[in-house]
Structures are given as C-alpha cells and as structure tokens.
Amino acid sequence: CRDGAAPGFVPAEKYQSLSEGPAGVAGLRGAVCQRCWLLAHHGRALRLRLPPEQHRLVVSAALRRPPRHGRGPLLLYLLDVLELPDPVLPQLSGLLGPDVPAAGLLVVGNKVDLLPADSPGHLGRLRQRVEAACTQAGLRGAPLVDVRLVSAKTGFGLEGLVSRLQRSWKCAGDVYLLGATNSGKSTLFNALLSSDYCKSRAPDIIDRATVSPWPGTTLNLLKFPIINPTCDRIFRRQERLKEEATKTEDQLSSEERKYLNHLKKQGYLVGEVGRTFQRQKPSPVVDFDPDMLSYSIDEDPRHSPRKHEEKEEFTYNEVKDARWCFDTPGIVKENCVLNLLAEKEVKLVLPTHAIVPRTFILKPGMVLFLAALGRVDYLQGEKPAWFSVVASNLLPVHISTLSNADAIYKKHAGQELLKVPMGGEERMKEFPPLVPQDITLEGIGTTEAVADIKLSSAGWVAVTAHAEEKLQLRAYTPKGTALVVREPPLLPYISTIRGARIPGTAAYRTKKPPSVVENLKTTGRK
C-alpha cells in the first residue's frame, strides 16, 4: 500500500478496511489490486515498473521448477496469427534453455476469427504458415506435439483444442500457457477455465485472468486444476459434442442465438465452448431474523450487518495429485509500435472485430498512409498496382501524392485525419519520426499478392501487381519499430475481397464475407 507503481498495490485506506474487517487479514485474500480493478471495471491500465527482463525471469523461474509427477510440463505456446512471423517465437528456445525439462510443445495460432477467408482452404494455409514459423525459429528444445488454430474470443477451435489436449497429453503433467503480450493468453485461460479441460468446481473458486488490450496484464501465475480425462468422461464428452453438432441455429434458445449473433459481428469464425460436467449448485437458503422485519411506523427499517461470505476453497484431496494449467505473464515484444502508444491509442490499433480489408489502386507517385503509424510510397512501376490494407477498422487510411505526403504528415499527424497518435503537436514532439526502408517487388498476377508490408503491429499492406511487373516502393514505420516484408503473403488473394471501384477515387467499396459457425448443423440460411 506504499508504492503505487508496484504490482499488487492497494490504496492504504482500502488495505486498512480489508485487514481490519470481520475476517481480519484473511479479508485481503479475496481482494484485487488497484491495477486489476481498473482493468476489469474501467479498461484502464497503470504503467508499472516491470521491465521485460523481469517478465522473462518470472516465466523462466516457473519453467525451471522440478518436474512434478515424474514428467516435465507441456508448453502451450499461443501466438497471434496477425503478428506472423511471431517476434517472440525465436526467443522461446532461449527462454526454455537446456535445463527446462519440457516434455512437449503445442503451438496455438490465435485470432483467426479476425481474418477473412480470401480463398477456400485458407485455414490450412494459415496452419502451414504457423508450422513454417516454428521451423524457422528452430524450436528443437521440446518435441512439437501439434499446431492448432483457434479464436479464444469467439470460441472457434477450442473444443478441438480441448479434445487434442485430453487425447495426447491426458493428465500426464502440468501445462504452461506461454506467449507474447497481447496474444490472447488471458482470454484463452478464461475460455479453458469454463471448458471440459478444467475441474467442474474450479470456475467458482479460481479468479479469472484479467483481460485487457494493454500489453503485459498478467503479472503472476494464475492456475486451474486440469480434469482427469477418464474413458467415461471422454465418452460423455463425445456424446455431448455429437448431440450439439445435430442442432441448427433455429433450435438454440433465444439467449444462445443472441450471444451467437453478437459473436458473428465480432469475428468471421465462431464456435461454442460447452461443459459436459456441470457442478450441481445448492439452492440458496434465505436467512432472516423476524425481529429485524418488525418496526413501528415512526422508525426506519433496521438493516442487519452483512455477514462475511466465506471464500470457497479446494479440499486437500482435490489438489494433492492435481495437474495444473498455468497462465504466465506475457513476454514483452521488442521493437513494437504498441510500446510507443497510450492506452486510448492501443484500443484503436488492436483489432477487436472482424477486419474488413480496404483495397486501393495506386499509380506510381502515390502514397498510402495507415494513420500516422505507417506509410507506403509507390515510387516506380509501369502500371497501377493494388494495395490492400489489413488493419483495425478504426484506423484511417489516407491516399495522397508523393509531392504532398510530407506536408500532410506534418500537418495532420496527431490530428483527427490520421487519428493515431492523438494529442496534436505536443504528442508528436515526443513520438519517434518515421524512418524509410526501400522495397523491390515483382508482381505474379492481378489476383494474387506478391508480399505483405507489415508495419510493426499496426497492420499490413498486401501488394498485388501485374505478372513480372517490377515495383519500387518505400515503406515507413516509427523509429525503433520493426518493418517486415512478408513473403509469401498471409492472405494472398485478399485483393479479390472488394466491391466496385468508387468513381473518382483510388478506393474500392469494402466487402465483408459472412461468418461461419462450427459445431452447428447448417440450414442453408444466409
């Protein structure tokens, strides 16, 4: 209660009221720190003094614990498919080291719901990209069990992930959830906590991980006990999944349909995470004092003091041989534009809804701005080319000529036209300048992109050009952030997801593909 910038800080008056309450010091056990409170209730994050080295120290120390139950842990590494090539993946082998007794590695590509299907089989192609990233990162420290694609937010692929974990890993040892900041680890932890992977009584006892777009929000190790997947439990689970697969959307309850439609607005791929093993909760008992209910007309009603609610705990037998799933602090991404942004700006930059691609046809001498966080100049080429922006729908895209580009950036960076960063001239004085990188590409056809120009974590621009057409480009990102030319592109046919050309402009009308729901029987209804 003294250092407001330290993890776990509670204001002094709150600390005093909790520790001196009816439960004594035990009253602090159910409390949350000021940071988690602000994240959960107001979406605000306090800047804490927790350097990247300390993040790695916490995770590394946890992984170096002596193996429990005679076997090392399974490492469940979560990566954001939008960030491929994942900047943290190459660091993973160094984090593990030769003294980490890992028994297996399962890589999970998250946020696939945000990306539109640019062609049939696009998920298979994404999976291949994740596998290639693992190979390129040289992950030989632990045997690669599998690669899965999921959306922790919409539930897509999660039932398959749970089945894979129960089938291959069973309950052999502990599981550690690893990944970069903002990869969705806390969201996945919360989803698994409400699934068949977790003991049925645990969701009432375990505090959910704090979910927030601010990087590095899980400071300590959260955990839940893994259910033992006996033959009977697996059979009952499979029966539930088979029964749910025969349902149509029309057979869902009104609440279920409402929630499903909510998820459809957020992502292209939607799934449902159910529970086979439900804990029977006791009926609430009404406890009252008749004397407290009788008062004269001249008196105010008397309120009995609130009884202290005992926090539910696991019994010794429930946890003595338990295997646990741990959520770890996110590994901080270096050279990332998010590290330069304030929390309001982060919320605009990170996509939370299905990304609608925006395609523009540019001639040589034209410039594309992605907010004030990235810029792509088309310097030389014989023919027009197509530039498809894949980024948060809240980030503006502005097209200009090369002769006006510098003046536009100087005038509008920090202002409404380019939106991010925010705060006008004062904000831009402290914001790093954009630095250029020259790029040469050769087109492969008018329907297939040749490469993605990834502007750090702000998004990317897929470039499509006529076959054998040589393009001279110059791309910019803020100084100290990573600019990556991704070949082959993640969504090579993204330029085909567009409407008609808007007359008198370089832009095409946007087009949003329909959402797909797994684990439900299709009815042919749009």
**Is there a single domain that holds both residue 327 and residue 412?**
no
Please tell me the distance from the alpha carbon of residue 306 to that of residue 105, in angstroms, as a whole number. 48
**Is there a single domain that holds both residue 250 and residue 358?**
no
Distance between alpha carbon 152 and the CA centroid of its chain, in Å? 7
Which pLDDT does position 297 carry in this prediction? 40
The residues near 173 (Cβ < 8 Å, ≥ 6 apart) are 67, 68, 69, 71, 72, 73, 74, 103, 323
Whether pTM exceeds 0.85: no
Of 55, 254, 237, the C-alpha closest to 159 is: 237
* CA distances from residue 388 to 15, 346, 368, 423, 460 in whole angstroms, order as listed: 52, 22, 10, 28, 8
Of 493, 450, 484, 491, the C-alpha closest to 470 is: 450
**Is there a single domain that holds both residue 76 and residue 23?**
no
Residue 300 tokens, joined? 């105010």
Of 46, 65, 80, the last residue of a domain is 46
Residue 471 tokens, joined? 């393009």
* CA distances from residue 126 to 84, 129, 457, 480 in whole angstroms, order as listed: 10, 5, 18, 28
pLDDT digits (tens, 9 = 90+) for 93-138: 766 666 666 667 889 999 999 999 999 999 999 999 999 888 888 7
**Is there a single domain that holds both residue 41 and residue 58?**
no
The residues near 200 (Cβ < 8 Å, ≥ 6 apart) are 227, 275, 277, 278, 279
Q: Are 327 and 338 contacting, i.e. CB atoms less than 8 angstroms apart?
A: no
Please tell me the distance from the alpha carbon of residue 54 to that of residue 438, in angstroms, as a whole number. 36
Residue 308 lies in a domain: no
Q: Can you give the residue range of the structural domain that contains 352? A: 339-516
**Is there a single domain that holds both residue 269 and residue 246?**
yes
**Is there a single domain that holds both residue 226 and residue 184?**
yes
Count Cα neighbours of 117 within 13 Å in the Cβ-side half-sphere.
12
Which pLDDT does position 199 carry in this prediction? 80
Residue 15 lies in a domain: yes
Sequential DSSP letters for 260-287: HHHHHHH-SEE-----SSPPPPPPPPP-
**Is there a single domain that holds both residue 79 and residue 28?**
no
Domain count, the chain: 3
Residue 60 lies in a domain: yes
pLDDT digits (tens, 9 = 90+) for 32-56: 787 777 666 655 555 454 456 666 6
**Is there a single domain that holds both residue 70 and residue 3?**
no
Residue 294 lies in a domain: no
**Is there a single domain that holds both residue 350 and residue 406?**
yes
Q: Are 265 and 353 contacting, i.e. CB atoms less than 8 angstroms apart?
A: yes
Which pLDDT does position 452 carry in this prediction? 97
Residue 283 lies in a domain: no
Looking up residue 193, the CATH number of its domain turns out to be 3.40.50.300
**Is there a single domain that holds both residue 375 and residue 482?**
yes
Three-class DSSP category at 241: helix
Please tell me the distance from the alpha carbon of residue 354 to that of residue 512, in angstroms, as a whole number. 9
**Is there a single domain that holds both residue 505 and residue 371?**
yes
Q: Which residues of the chain have pLDDT under 70?
A: 5, 38-56, 58-59, 62, 67-70, 94-103, 140-144, 201-221, 279-320, 522-526
